[in-house]
Chain A
Amino acid sequence: MTTTELLQGTLDLLILKAISLGPLHGYGVLLRIQQMSRDRLQIQQGSLYPALYRLEHQGLIAASWGESDNKRRAKFYRLTAAGRRRLNADLAYWQRLSEAIGLVIQVEAL
């Protein structure tokens, strides 16, 4: 199975999308992203955390303490209202971008 390096600046979007389906702890975010991408994206595991803190700093996600499935205390992150707005804006952007790039690629193929 081949994995793809993450495009610069897309980690934030993936985290927001992962959390938008429900609160997750840090490790859960990793699993969710891997699951959603069907293990095709390669993420350096630790780099998840500075990204989470940056999003929290910006007020896009909020953290609260909870308990994991294995009965461990962990910080759970959830989307804030501002985070949801940002996610929608980013998704729309990516949609447009990937469509446009898709078109270009198809033209090349002709």
Chain B
Amino acid sequence: MNLLSRARSFLRATFRPRAVEREMDDDLAFHVAERVDDLVSQGVPRADATRRATCELGDPAKWLLEGREARGTRYVDDLRADVVYALRWLRRSPAFTATAVLSLGIGIGANAAIFNLIDVVLLRALPVQDPDRLVLLTMATPGQEPSRGFSYPMFGAFERDTRSLSGIVATTPMRFGVQVDGVADTTVSGQLVSGGYYSVLGVPAALGRPLQPNDDAAPGTGAVAVLSYGFWQRGLGKDPSVLGRRIALNGIAFTIVGVSAEGFSGTHVGESVDVTVPLSIYPLMAGPGDAQRLSESSNELWLELIGRRRPGVTDQQVQSELAAVFQPLFDQWFSGPKALRFGRRSLAVESGSRGVSELRRRFSRPLWVLMGAVGLVLLVSCVNVANLLLARAAARGREMAVRISLGATRFRLVRQLLAESVLLACFGGVVGLLLTTWTSGTLAAILTDGGRTLVAHPDVRVFAFTAAVALITGIVFGLAPAAGVSHLDAGAALKDGGRGAVSGGRRFGLRGILVATQVAVSVVLLVGASLFVRTLWNLRTVDLGMDQEHVLTLRLEPIGSNQKRGNEPRLRLIYDRIVSRLQRMPGVRAVSLTGTTPLSDENQFSLNITVDGYLPAADESMHIRFVQVYPGYLQALGVRLVAGRDLEAQDDRPEAPIRTVVNEAMARRFFGGAAGAIGRGFTFSNGLLNPRIDIVGVAADTRDRTVREAAAPRAYLTFARAGTGRGQMTLLVRASGDPRALESTIRRLAHEADPTMPLFEVQTVADRVAAQTRQEQLVALLTTLFGVVAALLAAIGLYGVVAYTVTSRRMEFGVRLALGATPGRLRRLVLEDSLLLVILGLIAGFAASVAAARWIAQMLFGIEPFDPLSFAASAGMLVAVATVAAWLPARDAARVDPIVVLRQV
């Protein structure tokens, strides 16, 4: 209670000083008035009474001051005085203040921006209840990336048998063409979820209700949808009457029952989900015959599973419990030929607190590299401001000496200087936060290929980070000048008075070391930047073995294409119609279809083969990747034919012998080259297709999985006899001109062939390369920016130090000139001294760069970490900038007039 009253009166005195002072004034005035009345009533004349009363009271100013102190505001008052003084001092030198605030703002802003990305992508927990208790289930196969797909019966078994999880949910993504009230919207990303999704994750509805277990009942029922808050806001203008309205998803009518909580957009960071519907509706969405996926005998691995641990249960306990359920199921369904394809898998459990993210896997290393880079930028800008402050501290020596002589304690002066530097840093922090807020959207868009799928608003954590960085920065760079004050000799400073006596010996001193540090750090950043830029250049220009500019790829997902075999005849008809329509289109050079989009990982299938007349070594893997294509694939993608012929229409007939085109890598490995491969053949080791597969052609190698990966042996097959069915396909259209110009016509013709077919991801191959090298682009762009900023800051720092030195050595230069030195010699003297600093910095910087380059080696492509060109270019750029920075003051040194200088002595 006591503390409470103290706090209350302290806060009132601090934040409403006027009111408190007025009250005190009133008290004193009242006192005097009453006293005068008393005295008058005792017979004293009024004039005398007033004088006596005022006299008896004493000095009101003293009582006011003591009254304030009584409220514990002494430190606040001092602090306020410090801040007011610092503000006045900063305002008096706007150029200095602007330079310092701007360079700190850039340094702090860069840190906040990158930290924001790290926070969003790597650190932030899902906006659900107790995210720490979520677990992701994965299937681990030795030597492979874990997979996340499980079958429906597995989900059922886990749900039924688990004791360690309080709930488990299944989700699967699906894209929806959306119509609300008959108005067609764009395609959105959606998902199908089991009924417990919202209750297990603990996500409430912002409007209406979330999905419930009884929405997800018998297969084919449950046509209700929950919208994400973002989609409701963006697509429906936050219309509150949306509940109960109809929404058509891929042509099927759903009732909107709710909008999920703000901020929640699914469990995949960077791939936000707009519409969520129950899993039970899947058969309707997927086309006829596909209800089988929700049956107790399905072995399709298509559901992602997320569980919630019971309190006090560990991940290990969950894993061992579920593994006991999983293993018999897996062994039961995936035996025989299937086991060859899948291998033996085991169940694993990962933390699910931050959700699932492809983005996180791709960007975690680049983001930490960038965080390191911005740390260096901040270091350079701190050093810069410290340098500026040191120069000013020297100029303020007299002021400090006067204040010490007048009785200021050294502690008070140090506090004053720290107040100034922290104030500067705070302004810098504000500038930095503005920069972050402005850039967060752009950076997030680069990260997600221009999508709106990543919410990157800075949150409290980013603000706290920025504030902490600003505060620490302010104290760190303020300490150097403050330390100078604490052992200032007041007498000497007053006598010397900053007239600039000859200061031999130390040329640049501490400030020189600071500049060399800046140069060293800039070198590291510039070397890094050139390595990344060259990496990006190499990736963008590497020969993929295909035509990047003229080929448009479009993903086709006709209704029913998830169930390949059941819909095979219908799908074949649709695809044949599309190809024949497009082939007649003017401006089109070739058209084909493939199950595997170029530069993607989807639908890769690989099998062991036995090659005629080739005896594999004992431990040699005969696993080969296959790509299923329509005739004319090579021509449509612009892949060079090395020998033989392309797959043609005659090879696509069901009764035709099975023919294949292999790539050069495969021809080299098994047949000693392209020419030797024609007419040879191989069979599948698992006996899947018994007849021999004849090689009719050899295609040039392509980098068609990732840009970074050189071609591995592979073979192209048609769909006719491979026994896999067609499913979803990627349409390849090679145009004679700009393929983008054909897009609308292609869409129209495709919809003539099948009006309900969704059509996604319309991109040229070059677009796909750009998308795949997005992280390299981001890193190259930002490190270049940071490197240039650091180099400029270093140059400013160098200029400042050299200019200051030249000013304080004016007398020395004057004497030298009088004794016969030429201006040119003086210029060279200053330049040499300055470049010495730069060279010291370069040496240190190179040493640090070697260490840093090793760290980023695996992010590079087509270039060695110790690339001499990158090192030389960075050094060249720095020396050039530094020379300009040092030349300006060197010129001033040469212009010193000896007569003027010597007269001042």
Residues of A within 8 A of B (CB): 25-27, 30, 44-47, 49-54, 56-59, 68, 70, 72-75, 82
Closest 9 CB pairs of A and B: A59-B5, A50-B66, A46-B58, A54-B70, A53-B70, A27-B34, A46-B63, A57-B9, A46-B57
A53 to B71, CA, bound (A): 7
Contact B2 A70 (CB under 8 A): no
Contact A46 B33 (CB under 8 A): no
Contact A27 B2 (CB under 8 A): no
Interface centre among B60, B67, B69 (most CB of A within 10 A): B67
A56 to B2, CA, bound (A): 10
Given contacts A26-B31, A57-B6, A68-B34, contact A75 B26 (CB under 8 A): yes
The closest CB in chain B to the CB of A29 belongs to B31
Contact A25 B30 (CB under 8 A): yes
Given contacts A46-B57, A49-B63, A59-B4, contact A26 B27 (CB under 8 A): yes
Given contacts A53-B67, A59-B5, contact A47 B30 (CB under 8 A): no
The closest CB in chain B to the CB of A28 belongs to B34
Residues of A within 8 A of B23 (CB): 75
The closest CB in chain B to the CB of A68 belongs to B34
The closest CB in chain B to the CB of A86 belongs to B2
B49-72 CB mask vs A (1 if < 8 Å, else 0) is 000000011111011001101111
- How far, in Å, is A62 (CB) from chain B's closest CB? 9
A70 to B10, CA, bound (A): 32
- How far, in Å, is B296 (CB) from chain A's closest CB? 73
Query: Could you list some 7 contacts between A and B, CB below 8 A?
Result: A45-B57, A46-B28, A51-B70, A57-B6, A57-B9, A73-B26, A74-B30
Residues of B within 8 A of A46 (CB): 28, 57-60, 62-63
Q: With an 8 A cutoff between CB atoms, is B35 at the interface? A: yes
Q: A47-B58, A52-B27, A57-B72 are in contact. List 16 more A-B contacts (CB 8 A).
A: A46-B28, A46-B59, A49-B67, A50-B70, A51-B70, A54-B70, A56-B9, A57-B6, A57-B10, A57-B70, A68-B30, A68-B34, A70-B34, A74-B34, A75-B23, A82-B2
The closest CB in chain A to the CB of B28 belongs to A49
A46 to B65, CA, bound (A): 12
Q: With an 8 A cutoff between CB atoms, is B749 at the interface? A: no
Contact of B31 among A27, A50, A51, A54 (CB under 8 A): A27
A57 to B2, CA, bound (A): 9
A49 to B27, CA, bound (A): 8
Residues facing A in B1-42 (CB within 8 A) are 1-2, 4-6, 9-10, 23-24, 26-28, 30-31, 33-35, 37
The range of chain B's interface size is 20 to 34
B479-492 CB mask vs A (1 if < 8 Å, else 0) is 00000000000000
A77 to B232, CA, bound (A): 60
Residues of A within 8 A of B9 (CB): 56-57
Residues of A within 8 A of B1 (CB): 59, 82
Contact A50 B67 (CB under 8 A): yes
Contact B71 A72 (CB under 8 A): no
- How far, in Å, is A17 (CB) from chain B's closest CB? 19
Residues of B within 8 A of A72 (CB): 30, 33-34
Residues of B within 8 A of A50 (CB): 63, 66-67, 69-70
A7 to B27, CA, bound (A): 25
Residues of B within 8 A of A54 (CB): 70
- How far, in Å, is A33 (CB) from chain B's closest CB? 14
A65 to B70, CA, bound (A): 20
A59 to B71, CA, bound (A): 11
The closest CB in chain B to the CB of A48 belongs to B31
A9 to B83, CA, bound (A): 35
A75 to B23, CA, bound (A): 9
Given contacts A59-B4, A75-B23, A82-B2, contact A45 B31 (CB under 8 A): yes
A25 to B6, CA, bound (A): 21
- How far, in Å, is B756 (CB) from chain A's closest CB? 77
Residues of A within 8 A of B26 (CB): 73, 75
Residues of B within 8 A of A26 (CB): 27, 30-31
- How far, in Å, is A9 (CB) from chain B's closest CB? 14
Interface centre among A45, A53, A54, A58 (most CB of B within 10 A): A53
A52 to B60, CA, bound (A): 15
The closest CB in chain B to the CB of A81 belongs to B1
Contact B5 A47 (CB under 8 A): no
The closest CB in chain A to the CB of B72 belongs to A57
Residues of B within 8 A of A44 (CB): 58
Residues of B within 8 A of A58 (CB): 2, 5-6
- How far, in Å, is B172 (CB) from chain A's closest CB? 64
Residues of A within 8 A of B63 (CB): 46-47, 49-50
The closest CB in chain A to the CB of B13 belongs to A57
Residues of A within 8 A of B67 (CB): 49-50, 53
Contact A73 B31 (CB under 8 A): no
The closest CB in chain B to the CB of A51 belongs to B70
Residues of B within 8 A of A27 (CB): 30-31, 34-35
Interface centre among B10, B23, B66 (most CB of A within 10 A): B66
Contact A59 B58 (CB under 8 A): no
- How far, in Å, is A55 (CB) from chain B's closest CB? 9
- How far, in Å, is A3 (CB) from chain B's closest CB? 13
Residues of A within 8 A of B31 (CB): 26-27, 30, 45, 49
- How far, in Å, is B111 (CB) from chain A's closest CB? 42
Residues of A within 8 A of B71 (CB): 53, 57
